């Protein structure tokens, strides 16, 4: 008996729209090493996630779809995926913002290492912050929450029915402020300690101008910063979890 495989055009349209939504998110979702990896691996990952969600693909009547309508749908789905990925990346950017705030004052901006994500030279604290945020992203289950939201979104907002609203765009912009809030919460104790060290050294220099405190300033600040950072690591998961609540609220607003 001969069997003939038939593929409906509407199914192809559904595949294209779901792939556009998933691929847009993978551009910004902070998966460690995904940006430095080869292009085929990222494409295979997006395709795999699209096929995993096959049971939730929408049913599209191809007879009512033209090129202009399909192009608009693809752009809307890609924009939705980009918005979700950008919201998820706010968490990692908050940790990097904190590292940027204290790198220069702590004296670690003079030491660079290879950034595993981009392959370029980056300050040590910035690279450590990026790797820590990537680890916490998986340790706190944010990856599962985002994938679960994507799965539900194909039912609540089937591809082809999403429309960008000013409220969602405003919420995305306002949530971007979590980058600065998270960064300051992480390093505010360390910034205060470094300020006290600077004031103390300035007072000693004022009392005795023959002391060469510049040669001692960097070792003192680097050692104190390292000691305080070792203690602040204990609160990093709590700050990450609290900041992720607002991010998940935005992701659910986009997809739910």
Query: For the whole model, what pTM was predicted?
Result: 0.73
Q: Tens of pLDDT along 97-122?
A: 888 888 777 777 666 655 555 555 66
Q: Is the pLDDT of residue 48 over 70?
A: yes
Determine if residue 159 is left, alpha or beta; phi over 0 gives left, psi from -120 to 50 gives alpha, anything else beta: beta
Query: What is the crossing angle of helices 67-106 and 124-139, to 10°?
Result: 130
Q: Is the pLDDT of residue 2 over 60?
A: no
Q: Tens of pLDDT along 214-231?
A: 667 777 788 888 888 888
| pLDDT value for 1 | 46
Q: Is the pLDDT of residue 133 over 50?
A: yes
Annotated domain spans of the chain: 9-255
| pLDDT value for 171 | 77
Angle, alpha carbons 243-249-251 (nearest 5°): 105
Report the share of the chain in percent with pLDDT over 70: 81
User: Quick one: average pLDDT of 30-43?
Assistant: 64
Q: Is the pLDDT of residue 196 over 80?
A: yes
| pLDDT value for 202 | 78
How far lies 22's CA from each of 187, 188, 199, in Å? 34, 36, 51
Report the share of the chain in percent with pLDDT over 90: 0
Q: Tens of pLDDT along 155-191?
A: 777 776 666 667 777 777 777 878 888 888 888 888 8
User: Quick one: average pLDDT of 35-57?
Assistant: 75
Average confidence score pLDDT of the chain: 77
């Amino acid at each position: 008996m001969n069997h003939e495989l038939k593929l409906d055009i509407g199914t192809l349209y559904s595949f294209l729209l779901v792939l556009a939504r998933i691929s847009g998110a993978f551009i910004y979702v902070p998966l460690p090493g995904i940006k430095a990896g080869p292009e085929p691996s990222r494409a295979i990952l997006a395709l795999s996630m699209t096929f995993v969600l096959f049971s939730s693909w929408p049913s599209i009547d191809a007879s009512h779809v033209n090129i202009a309508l399909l192009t608009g749908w693809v752009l809307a789905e890609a924009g939705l995926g980009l918005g979700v990925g950008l919201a998820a990346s706010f968490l990692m950017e908050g940790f990097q913002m904190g590292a940027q705030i204290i790198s220069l004052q702590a004296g670690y901006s003079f030491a660079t290492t290879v950034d595993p994500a981009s392959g370029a030279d980056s300050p040590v604290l910035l690279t450590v912050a990026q790797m820590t945020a990537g680890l916490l992203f998986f340790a706190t289950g944010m990856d599962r929450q985002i994938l679960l939201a994507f799965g539900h979104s194909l039912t609540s907002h089937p591809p082809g029915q999403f429309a960008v609203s000013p409220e969602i765009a405003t919420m995305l912009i306002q949530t971007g402020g979590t980058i600065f809030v998270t960064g300051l919460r992480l390093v505010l104790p360390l910034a205060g300690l470094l300020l006290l060290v600077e004031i103390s050294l300035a007072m000693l220099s004022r009392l005795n101008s023959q002391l060469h405190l510049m040669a001692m300033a960097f070792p003192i600040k680097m050692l104190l910063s390292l000691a305080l950072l070792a203690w602040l690591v204990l609160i990093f998961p709590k700050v990450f979890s609290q900041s992720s609540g607002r991010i998940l609220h935005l992701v659910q607003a986009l997809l739910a």
